[in-house]
Amino acid sequence: MAHTSNTTISSCLLIIVQLFFMWPAKTNAKIPAIIVFGDSSVDSGNNNHIETIARSNFMPYGRDFAGGRPTGRFSNGRITTDFISEAAGLKQIVPAYLDPAYNMSDFAVGVCFASAGTGYDNATADVLGVIPLWKQVEYYKEYQKKLRAYLGDTKANEVISEALYATSLGTNDFLENYYTMPQRRSQYTIDQFQIYLVGIAKNFIKNLYNLGARKISLGGLPPMGCMPLERTRNLGNGNECMESYNLVAVNFNEKLNGLVMELNKELPEIQVVLSNPYEPMLQMIKNPSSYGFEVASIACCATGLFEMGYACDRYNLFTCKDANKYIFWDAFHPTERTDRIIADHVVKTALSKFLA
């Protein structure tokens, strides 16, 4: 009899211990899920599963990721949205929707529809044959159906309305489209093109709102003139930052901020914020040593001047040993450490109302 009661007590204790470890994961989460749209700054591997050269599913990408493996993130490790998910008390990574290694139990708390090389403008996605923004929204609609089947309507609707929607787009619209393709330049001045993009951003957010989204983070542009690729091209100015590109980023971010204020007035119960990486990133580039960085002007990968994607070669002797000393991983994308600093900044500022 004593043996039976001891066994019962042990079983009860085991259940209590298991519940104790399960409980914090539920109560610590500030939001039920993070849902991501955008470009290579937040793509966690969707491009691995489409026909495009805009990929990073090979070494040295991911060399500092858990298990030292490439995931399709354009980084040596994790990216900003992974860190935001972790800060929200959710998982440490946000999986790519097209990755068959994950299922709805993973996607119910975090899912990424982003595609490297895309933009607001459909013409931007056409350049490298990647997933346009409208298609990301179609995937999201499909996801909603799967979420309702998985959680039931009531719970799924709660996740949809309480989730944080994080977007990061726009850089490619300028660098891969406007400044490289003559068509848009013949149609629009740079200011008109920005207004055109903001119109697309507005429709996109209204679409999300009509699908149930209420908490939305609109990502601003970084100082894109300071990317190593643009500095390499700026030969006539001693490889300094391309100030004209930075000015475009500042102007575009101001227009996005105006859009945020407009939408918050216009749409009942919506909460839109601008998560703007521009200033913290510029400060890092101007004063790398005060953030513990050693190199701001060139990237870790290969020669650090123009390589990204397939030109970032694991066997290149120039590829740096310690990415933590570099602000940029390849000529276009930050290192994991830079992304962590940016994520910390937006979590404490723009996202604090959702995650506090």
Residues marked as catalytic? 40, 330, 333
Strands laid side by side in the 215-219 sheet: 110-112, 34-38, 164-168, 215-219, 271-275
Judge whether 211 and 268 are in contact, CB under 8 Å: no
The set of residues, in sequence order, having a beta carbon less than 8 Å from that of 328 and lying 6+ positions away, is 227, 228, 296, 298, 299, 300, 304, 334, 335, 338
> Which tokens sit at 261?
């204020």
Judge whether 275 and 350 are in contact, CB under 8 Å: yes
In angstroms, the CA 166 to CA 39 distance is: 11
Helices 336-348 + 80-87 axis angle, to 10: 50
Judge whether 125 and 117 are in contact, CB under 8 Å: yes
Residue 60 preceded by cis peptide, ω within 30: yes
Judge whether 333 and 222 are in contact, CB under 8 Å: no
Q: Which amino acid is at 262?
A: E
Give the per-residue SS3 of 260-322. HHHHHHHCCCCEEEEECCHHHHHHHHHCHHHHCCCECCCCCCCCCCCCCHHHCCCCCCCCCCC
Point out which residues pair with 112 in neighbouring strands. Answer: 36, 96
CB atoms under 10 Å from CB of 5, counted, come to 9
R_g of the chain computed on alpha carbons: 21
Which residue reads 């740096």 in tokens?
Answer: 320
Q: How would you classify the pairing of strands 110-112 and 164-168?
A: unpaired
